[in-house]
Amino acid sequence: MVAVAILAAGKGTRMKSDLPKVLHPLGGRSLVERVIESCALIKPERICTIVGYRAAEVKTALAHLPHLEFVEQTEQLGTGHAVQQLLEPLKDFAGDVVILNGDVPLLRPETIADLVSTHQKNNNDATLLTAQLPNPMGYGRVFCDGDNLVTQIVEHRDCNDAQRKNNRINAGVYCFKWEVLAEALPKLTTNNDQQEYYLTDVILHCDKVMAMDVADFQEISGINDRFQLSAAYEILQDRIKEKWMKAGVMIHQPDTVTIDDTVQLEPDVMIEPQTHLRGNSLIKTGCRLGPGSLIENSVIEANTTILYSVVSDSQVGENTQIGPYTHIRGQAKVGEQCRIGNFVEVKKSTIGNNTNMAHLSYIGDATLGAKVNIGAGTITANYDGVNKHQTVIGDRSKTGANSVLVAPITIGEDVTIAAGSTITKDVDNDCLVVARARQKEIKGWRLQS
Ligand code: UD1
Ligand code: CA
């Protein structure tokens, strides 16, 4: 049996932020959520999150995760003190406890599974994840004997010059026999530079403590300040983009592209520079996205092009062309083979197949049939200042340039609306409708001076 404990009670002073450190977002999810996710493969029996600084806020932010237990550390007296808070809630627990810092968000689930299996195979009292870092600055240094058994962990600030030269660092990821850890925890003291209870000191009270080097040291990057948070984002992005490129997605100038790890892409998608894919988006094969587009929580069907545009919370059908400079949002559903062009906004509307709106329009709260043509500058006047109203346009109808459709309104099928019309009443099928002042010419009229 394995229990997981996540240390998330610290303030994160070095972030210089009002938000608790572990709630800072990294690619759409908080640091602590990512840490929790990294335990997926070991299928923990229990997950205890140790909270303290702004505990209520941290709990609320994690309320959507099932089976999470919260353990309060009301005063933050160090990582050892944080783990001491488990003595009561885990008093009847038998098995291994995996302890993770809430600020180490890039661990791969496989790495944690490896740590647990190394621990169990070797019957260790404790096994800790270590890394050989080119720049070990700030991390605790791990000292081992010839058999890879840990003799000492010394925090950076407590190291002497010779100890600082050791590049092997403590990742803050441990697996303990709970029985041994529970015995050792009450023996901790605060005899160090920070006058804190250090979790790392429990190894002095364990017999067999083994170090396991992680293959990719980027995984154990701890986040203490904003610079490290942005570096972690880069690492995450590199991983995501490498994965998709290996799966057949073409990304041009990947350094200018960002993709959340919740996004799904099919092979032969092409992503052009300065394009950002966020949230629960699905992009089907043959799409060309960008340059310069943002797609958020949207499904884009095959072979669609989105150029210099924003699509959020919406669906776009196959073989459709969006952009340049289009904004599609608010649960819009655009059909197949449509063309939504320059400076057009579509909000919460359903657009039928083969329908075009090529220039300068606002279509909101509307249902458009198939083969409709929206003339340049057509506006649905959907808002009366209090409520939003619906516009319906039937198949094959055409709106002239600069028409205003004052909702609620229904335009039939095969209708042509004359340019510059303001339509306020429903229009029947199969007609031409003109609603504008007749042009007058007043012969010989001049301004009187
Ligand atoms: C810790 C390790 C260090 C290791 C590094 C890896 C100790 C003493 N040192 O140092 O060896 O190299 O992590 O990143 O453990 N926390 C609490 N309650 C507290 C104090 C901290 O919950 O009273 C939490 C923090 O919210 C954070 C985590 O513990 O998520 C680590 O604390 P932090 O102060 O960042 O430890 P480091 O100095 O980085
Ligand atoms: Ca840290």
What does the mean pLDDT of the chain come to? 97
Among 280, 273, 327, residue whose Cα is nearest residue 299? 280
State if residue 107 touches ligand 1 by the CB under 6 angstroms criterion: no
State if residue 103 touches ligand 1 by the CB under 6 angstroms criterion: yes
Q: Which ligand is nearest to the CA of 229?
A: 2
- Ligand 1 pocket mutation pick from 79, 129, 199, 218 by most atoms within 8 angstroms of CB: 79
6 band by pLDDT with thresholds 50, 70 and 90: very high
Distance 46 CA to ligand 2 centre (A): 23
Distance 45 CA to ligand 2 centre (A): 26
State if residue 199 touches ligand 1 by the CB under 6 angstroms criterion: yes
State if residue 77 touches ligand 1 by the CB under 6 angstroms criterion: yes
Residue nearest to atom 11 of ligand 1 (CA): 140
How far apart are alpha carbons 67 and 97 in whole angstroms? 16
The answer, yes or no, to whether residue 323 has pLDDT greater than 90, is yes
pLDDT value, residue 179:
97
Which active-site residues does the annotation give?
359
Ligand 1 atom with minimal separation from the 50 CA: 22
185-228: pLDDT as tens digits: 999 999 999 999 999 999 999 999 999 999 999 999 999 999 99
Residue nearest to atom 9 of ligand 1 (CA): 140
The answer, yes or no, to whether residue 11 has pLDDT greater than 90, is no
**Looking at the domain that runs over 2-220, which CATH code has it been given?**
3.90.550.10
Considering the chain, tell me which residue range(s) the CATH 2.160.10.10 domain(s) occupy: 246-433
State if residue 198 touches ligand 1 by the CB under 6 angstroms criterion: yes
Distance 145 CA to ligand 1 centre (A): 25
State if residue 8 touches ligand 1 by the CB under 6 angstroms criterion: yes
The answer, yes or no, to whether residue 160 has pLDDT greater than 90, is yes
Residue nearest to atom 35 of ligand 1 (CA): 224
163-178: pLDDT as tens digits: 999 999 999 999 999 9
35-64: pLDDT as tens digits: 999 999 999 999 999 999 999 999 999 999
Considering the chain, tell me which residue range(s) the CATH 3.90.550.10 domain(s) occupy: 2-220
The answer, yes or no, to whether residue 276 has pLDDT greater than 90, is yes
**pTM, to two decimals:** 0.89
State if residue 364 touches ligand 1 by the CB under 6 angstroms criterion: no
448 band by pLDDT with thresholds 50, 70 and 90: confident
Is the CATH number 3.90.79.10 carried by domain 246-433? no
**What is the mean predicted confidence (pLDDT) over 354-359?**
98
